[in-house]
Structures are given as structure tokens and as C-alpha cells.
């Protein structure tokens, strides 16, 4: 950040009084501008025991498989964001269920919230963000072609909980390498 979004004056990076971290502070109006982690929301859509995955048509990780997920928008709830992202990436409408995982990735300043999702119908298809969308049985999930560690962790926890008949909340902290 170079300029204050409030008044347009240059900002300086310094520790404001009463704070302990450097922040962007306006040199004219003294407004403090915080840079906080981005929230990614998504879900594991399921239809009759099969999991819906999307082949990425965009970077990062173009061509790899993922669960539908993306950045939460201002003014929406985490569940609404997960439902929106699922529809945007797979043309599938879901009833978003319980939270499966909370994954912090401080190296890229993101927190991922992944939910279970019950597909409302079998309808799904490719979009501008997904070159292919497919339902997979557990044994057919392309584990070596999954786009991100967050997807691997969430799917493994979801499937293990499903086998055990439980619903756990899994909290993880990952390093800076690909999410």
C-alpha cells in the first residue's frame, strides 16, 4: 500500500502507538490501515456417497483437481460463500453442512474454512474456473492430482469421519508451501 484510501496521502509503515506490529499509517490523516489474512471458503459436495471435484481451469495449479472453494466476499456468511463458490465452480447447488476443517496458512496469509455439502441434485458441469467437474467414489479420488494440501487434508478428514460415523472439526496450521 502506497497511498491512504481515505485521503490519498502517502502512507508509511510503522508501529502505531499502542500496537506491536508495523502497519500502514497515513502521513496526513493518521488513519491506520490493517492488512489481515484472507478467508477461503469451500465445501466437499457429496451426491449418493460420491465426492464432487473440479479440475482447475485457472492458475494456480491449472489442471489439478480440487474441491470448490474461493475467497469469501464482504457481506456474506462463510456458509453462503461456500455455496456460492460451489455453484460458480461446478454449477452444483448444495446445502452447506458442518465445518470440517479450519486451516491456517500464515505463509500466504490465508485461513481456509471447509464445510460438508449435500448436493441438492446430481446437476453439475464445467465453468470458466473448472474445465471438468466429476463425481468420484472414494477409491477413485485422484489423490496424486489434487491441487492443494488443504484439499488433501480436508478430504482425508472428511472421509475418515464418514467411515467412523462422526463429525469432527479438524484444525491445522500449514507452512508456506502451496496451500
Residue 178, pLDDT above cutoff 60: no
What pLDDT, on the 0 to 100 scale, is given for residue 177? Answer: 58
Segment 115-131 shows an average pLDDT of 98
Percent of the chain with pLDDT over 70: 98
* Cα separation values, 161 from 28, 33, 42, 50, 156, Å: 54, 41, 18, 15, 9
Tell me which H or E stretch contains 151. helix 149-164
Class of domain 1-35: mainly beta
Q: Which three cell numbers stand for residue 51?
A: 465426492
Structural domain boundaries in the chain:
1-35, 38-173
* Cα separation values, 130 from 68, 74, 95, 114, 146, Å: 9, 23, 20, 19, 14
Please, which residues have CB within 8 angstroms of residue 46's CB and are 6 or more apart in sequence?
52, 116, 117, 118, 119
Q: With cut-offs at 50, 70 and 90, classify the pLDDT of residue 113.
A: very high
What pLDDT, on the 0 to 100 scale, is given for residue 175? Answer: 80
| Of the listed ranges 29-38, 116-125, 170-179, the one predicted with least confidence | 170-179
pLDDT digits (tens, 9 = 90+) for 39-90: 999 999 999 999 999 999 999 999 999 999 999 999 999 999 999 999 999 9
Q: With cut-offs at 50, 70 and 90, classify the pLDDT of residue 176.
A: low
Percent of the chain with pLDDT over 90: 97
Q: How far apart are CA 140 and CA 24, in angstroms?
A: 48
CATH superfamily of 38-173: Nucleoside Triphosphate Pyrophosphohydrolase (3.90.79.10)
CB-CB contact of 179 with 153 (8 Å): no
CB-CB contact of 25 with 16 (8 Å): yes
What pLDDT, on the 0 to 100 scale, is given for residue 102? Answer: 98
Q: Which three cell numbers stand for residue 66?
A: 480440487
Indicate the Cα dihedral angle 139, 144, 149, 150, nearest 10°.
-30
65 - beta bridge partners?
55, 146
Q: Which three cell numbers stand for residue 4?
A: 491512504
What pLDDT, on the 0 to 100 scale, is given for residue 96? Answer: 98
Residue 25, pLDDT above cutoff 80: yes
Amino acid at each position: 500500500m502506497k497511498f491512504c484510501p481515505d485521503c490519498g496521502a502517502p502512507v508509511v509503515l510503522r508501529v502505531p502507538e499502542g500496537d506491536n506490529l508495523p502497519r500502514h499509517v497515513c502521513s496526513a490523516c493518521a488513519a491506520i490501515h490493517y492488512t489481515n489474512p484472507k478467508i477461503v471458503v469451500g465445501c466437499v459436495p457429496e451426491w449418493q456417497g460420491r465426492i464432487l471435484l473440479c479440475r482447475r481451469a485457472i492458475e494456480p495449479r491449472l489442471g489439478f483437481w480440487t474441491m470448490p472453494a474461493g475467497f469469501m466476499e464482504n457481506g456474506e456468511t462463510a456458509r453462503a460463500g461456500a455455496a456460492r463458490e460451489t455453484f460458480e465452480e461446478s454449477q452444483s447447488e448444495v446445502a452447506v453442512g458442518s465445518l470440517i476443517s479450519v486451516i491456517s496458512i500464515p505463509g500466504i496469509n490465508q485461513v481456509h474454512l471447509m464445510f460438508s455439502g449435500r448436493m441438492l441434485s446430481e446437476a453439475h458441469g464445467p465453468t470458466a474456473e473448472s474445465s471438468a467437474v466429476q463425481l468420484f467414489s472414494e477409491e477413485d479420488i485422484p489423490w496424486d492430482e489434487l491441487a492443494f494440501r488443504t484439499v488433501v487434508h480436508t478430504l482425508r478428514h472428511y472421509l475418515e469421519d464418514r467411515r467412523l460415523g462422526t463429525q469432527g472439526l479438524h484444525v491445522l496450521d500449514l507452512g508456506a508451501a502451496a496451500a
